[in-house]
Chain A
Amino acid sequence: MRGLRLRDAGVELRIGVALLLAIIILGLVVPAFAPEDPRRWNTVPRNLAPGGDYLLGTTSQGQDVFWLLALSVRNSLWVGFTVGVIATLFGAVVGMAAGYVGGLPDRVLTLLTDSFIVIPALPILILFSALLEGRASLLLVGCVLAVFNWPRPARQTRALVLSLREREFMRTAWFAGSNTLQIIRREIAPYLTGWFIANFVYTVLIAIATETGLAVIGLSNLQDTTLGGMIYWALRHQAILAERWYWIGPPTLVIIVLSVALFVVSSGLSKLSARRRGL
């Protein structure tokens, strides 16, 4: 009974990882083989349906949809990765410090975390992008997204650390003469690794979704194409009315598959690590 459920969770996680790997290969390996910069206009004939020389057809600007898609995937992944790394690390440090040190530092950090959670990120991001008029580099967009995404990991890390602090082995470490830093590094951090990765993957999901949202309304970086940017240009050039599904369809489909894969991997990993922690 129990074994069966474990295996079920395993299947989900495995499918998620497989989908994610496929998309990562599409984004990280494929663009290197592009015959020319896929963003350039009029490198191929316009408005060709899929098949023939062009796998996924061509846009009304004379771009090859397939290579454009691969490049967009790469840029979207890159934004997600940047935000994931910065936000998860920063959040984890704040959460661990707050949870482990306690007292006044904890109160101050928790207050700060709670304040950042209530700030609606999207209007600020929209303002940011509007003032930079679509010229913000993807790295900058990533950094701004990170500013609004550290509180969630921080809060969760704090809660986890608080529950860990009361465990027996923590006291043992303390009595054995370890100092605070050593305890955080050697006792708490390893315990949380699996959970960290789950959280990282989830932050990547949120970041990619948010960047896509900004891009769909034309407010992310419009020079370096991302999946959302591709949808934006397809909409701008009336791909729906012209029924050019091969232009707007692929980025939409990839966003959906990518989101679902990231979600499944994240929840699968956090279940796995909870089980390992004996919860």
Chain B
Amino acid sequence: MRFVAFLLTKLLVYVLIIVIGVTVVFLVPRLLPSGPVEALLARIMAGGGFMEPAQVESMRVSLTQTFGLEGTLWEQYRGFIERVLLAGDFGPSLAMFPTSVNVLIRQALPWTLGLLLTATIIAWILGNVIGVIAGYRKDKAFSKVLELIAVAVYPIPYYILALILIILLAYLWPVFPMSVHVRSAPLSLRFLATVVHNSFLPALSIIIVGVGWWVISMKALSSSVCEEDFVQFARLRRVSDGTIMTRYVARNAILPQITALALMIGGVFNGALITEIIFDYPGLGSLTYMAVMQSDYNLLMGTVTLSIVAVATATLVIDLLYPFFDPRIRYR
């Protein structure tokens, strides 16, 4: 009974968060002075096309209709919610008319997921292993050096690191390509190898920054677990160092890291967006960038809504699963 009440509250909050988030995203572009219609008109005129004022006006009306921007804000909003949140249909892309937004997203999603999930999970495992070792032996010189490196690397923005990697590994010592040049092809071992080769630099920039953060947080967590009585007791019982480190310290310190991993996976889209743009990586980030540059509202709403749902879902799943990982926490 208690669990049902807990579940219902969480679900209600989940739905509300998504609705509020999507509403904000819906409102922001519409509050701006210039919209996609004016942007497109300006682009057409800048292209050299001469039009009579009357033609411009009729063009404006037809564009407004095509973009679904006619009617009051409220009418637009109601139509939007009905179409998007209830039917999951984002409509046609305005920039690549008449391809539907759903199709574009379906093409880009595997790229982004492949890159970000792989990079984030590698960084998580690597960072936590290093973090536990550094936290367990926190007075040793090497763990201080490790933390120092982590502190010096983690705050660097992704794209600055990406830029440095491009200069070092694609220009000065050209091992990897400057930008990603694979588009979809039949699945084969060779194709996969090209994908890995092409995605290496963007992945590396995400991994380096990620590892920095996991080392810093895991070191703090595990060194505080080390102070606890049960670890002291295990030491007195002469349990081996390796066992203490893995079974006693890592196991207890890893819990908050699992939460953080889920949130990171939900939110990594945000941070990696510019990385994708810099490397011209054919994922959701570049798609979003294209949507923005072409004032493609539908496409933009599609990618952003997807990202909001991803973050909200990650939070919900963590809230629901946490008691399974940590028996000390009860549903309430």
Q: A-side interface residues toward B, CB under 8 Å?
A: 12, 111-112, 114-124, 126-128, 130-132, 205, 209, 212-213, 216-217, 231, 240-241, 252, 255-256, 259-260, 262-264, 267
Contacts and interface: CB of A to CB of B under 8 A. Distances in A.
Given A213-B159, A213-B274, A267-B151, 18 more contacts: A118-B21, A118-B266, A119-B24, A119-B25, A119-B304, A119-B308, A120-B270, A120-B307, A128-B32, A130-B292, A212-B159, A212-B160, A213-B158, A216-B160, A216-B163, A217-B274, A252-B164, A256-B156
Contact of A118 (B278, B288, B300, B311): B311
A115 B24 contact: yes
Given A118-B308, A212-B157, A130 B269 contact: no
8 contacts: A112-B20, A115-B17, A131-B34, A209-B157, A212-B159, A213-B274, A216-B160, A217-B289
Interface in B155-193: 155-160, 163-164, 166-167, 171
B contact patch SS? helix
Contact of B151 (A123, A205, A240, A260): A260
A112 to B, nearest CB: 7
Contact of B16 (A111, A241, A264): A111
B167 A240 contact: yes
A116 B308 CA distance: 10
A216 B155 contact: no
Given A118-B312, A131-B295, A252-B164, A205 B155 contact: yes
A111 B10 CA distance: 11
Contacts, number: 120
B28 interface: yes
Given A111-B17, A118-B312, A119-B24, A131 B151 contact: no
Nearest to B303: A123
Contact of A127 (B292, B308, B311): B292
B201 to A, nearest CB: 14
A45 to B, nearest CB: 25
Contacts of A111: 13, 16-17, 20
A212 to B, nearest CB: 6
Nearest to A119: B21
Interface in B268-289: 269-271, 273-274, 277-278, 288-289
A122 B274 contact: yes
B157 A128 contact: no
A18 to B, nearest CB: 15
Contacts of A131: 29, 32-35, 39, 295
B152 interface: yes
B155 A259 contact: yes
Contact of A114 (B17, B29, B167, B266): B17
Nearest to A252: B160
Contacts of B24: 115-116, 119
Contacts of B28: 124, 127-128
A114 B13 contact: yes
A114 B18 CA distance: 10
Interface of B: 13, 16-18, 20-21, 24-25, 28-29, 32-35, 39, 151-152, 154-160, 163-164, 166-167, 171, 266-267, 269-271, 273-274, 277-278, 288-289, 292-293, 295, 300, 303-304, 307-308, 311-312, 315
Given A114-B13, A255-B160, A123 B29 contact: no
A260 B13 CA distance: 37
B322 to A, nearest CB: 16
B159 A118 contact: no
Given A114-B17, A127-B28, A260 B156 contact: yes
Given A111-B17, A118-B17, A217-B274, A123 B288 contact: yes
Contacts of B274: 122, 213, 216-217
Contacts of A252: 160, 163-164
Contact of A120 (B32, B157, B311): B311
A256 B29 contact: no
A264 B154 CA distance: 11
Given A111-B13, A114-B13, A123 B159 contact: no
A103 to B, nearest CB: 15
A152 to B, nearest CB: 12
Contact of A115 (B20, B154, B171, B273): B20
A219 to B, nearest CB: 8
Contacts of A121: 270
Q: Which of the listed residues A120, A124, A217, A259 has the most CB atoms from chain B within 10 Å of its own CB? A: A120
Top 5 A-B pairs ranked by shortest CB distance? A263-B155, A115-B20, A259-B155, A118-B311, A209-B157
A217 B292 CA distance: 12
A36 to B, nearest CB: 29
Contacts of B304: 119-120, 123-124
A220 B33 CA distance: 17
Contacts of B39: 131
Contacts of A114: 13, 17, 315
A124 B27 CA distance: 11
A259 B288 contact: no
Contacts of B163: 216, 231, 252
B315 A127 contact: no
Nearest to B266: A118
B156 A118 contact: no
Contacts of A130: 292-293, 295
